[in-house]
Amino acid sequence: MYFNILPNIAYDQKPISFPFSESDYIVAKNFFRRYKLNDDIFSQAVYFKKYAIEDGERPDTIAKKVYGNPYYDWVILLTNNVINAQYDWPLSGYDLAQVIESNFDDPYSEIRHYEIREDIGTYTKGLRVDKTFYDGQHKLNIGGSIITKNGNEIASPVTIADYYHYENEKKREIYLLREKYFRGFVADFRKQNLYKDSKDFVSKRLKQTGWLFWQKNTQKFFLGFVELSCQFWFA
């Protein structure tokens, strides 16, 4: 459905050989048109609601559940600015395990980095530290008192599997356009993908670009130059 809405563009496939040569054009979808929402629109709770993607759910299954049609999966991807669903959409638990196990020898034991467990002293939760910090001792100001703690008391090791699981979980929270605004959004998207009158305009669903525009305007320039030259020489 998304690709049916996108307008077409005719582009020149033949190298330029002479200003007035014929050109062969290929018609394709205009993927250069990008409909992007401003990030601050998600703060408008009236338009969107938060949704937690369940394990194994896909854009089309959510579209079927929420909008009654799996072919509106592009609305979910578009309103969440998802460019590549392969990387921007959470993997199922099974698929995630397959990815990390095929790329790392021992992802469940190999330490990727260390993180501060919780806010303490001048350290904030989630701050990444190295093994030297983890193995060392550190003086902390806690409520005006200076205490000494081992690094392994305030930081925890994060395995490769832990890290990828955490990153995958962050992708589960998305925003869904509320049903009452859904039809209006689709109608506006269709309208925005109609071409307006321009130098490349052929129809509301097609524009032709590349060599044709240069060719037409070169002809106009050449004829104008000839006319001007004649006026100059015969004046």
pLDDT at 226: 40
Answer whether 74's CB lies under 8 Å from 83's CB: no
Domain ranges of the chain: 2-97+168-234, 105-164
Helix (H) / strand (E) element for 202: namely strand 201-203
Measured in degrees and rounded to the nearest 5, phi and psi for residue 184 equal: -65, -40
Name residues whose C-beta falls within 8 Å of residue 191's C-beta, 6 or more positions apart in sequence.
none
Q: How remote is the C-alpha of 227 from its chain's centroid?
A: 52
- CA-CA distance, 194 to 189, in Å (whole number)? 9
Helix (H, G, I), strand (E, B) or coil at 97: helix
pLDDT digits (tens, 9 = 90+) for 168-203: 999 999 999 888 888 877 777 667 655 566 666 555
- CA-CA distance, 207 to 204, in Å (whole number)? 8
Tell how strand 8-12 and strand 206-209 pair up: parallel
Please count the CA atoms within 13 angstroms of the CA of 203 that sit on its side-chain side. Answer: 5
Cα radius of gyration (the chain): 29
- CA-CA distance, 122 to 190, in Å (whole number)? 52
Q: In what order do the strands lie in the sheet with 155-159?
A: 128-129, 111-116, 155-159
Mean pLDDT of 124-148: 95
The confidence band for 149, taking pLDDT boundaries of 50, 70 and 90, is very high
pLDDT at 199: 63
Helix (H, G, I), strand (E, B) or coil at 48: strand
* Two structure tokens written together for 135: 């193995």
pLDDT digits (tens, 9 = 90+) for 75-112: 898 888 888 888 899 999 999 999 999 999 999 999 99
pLDDT exceeds cutoff 90 at 55: yes
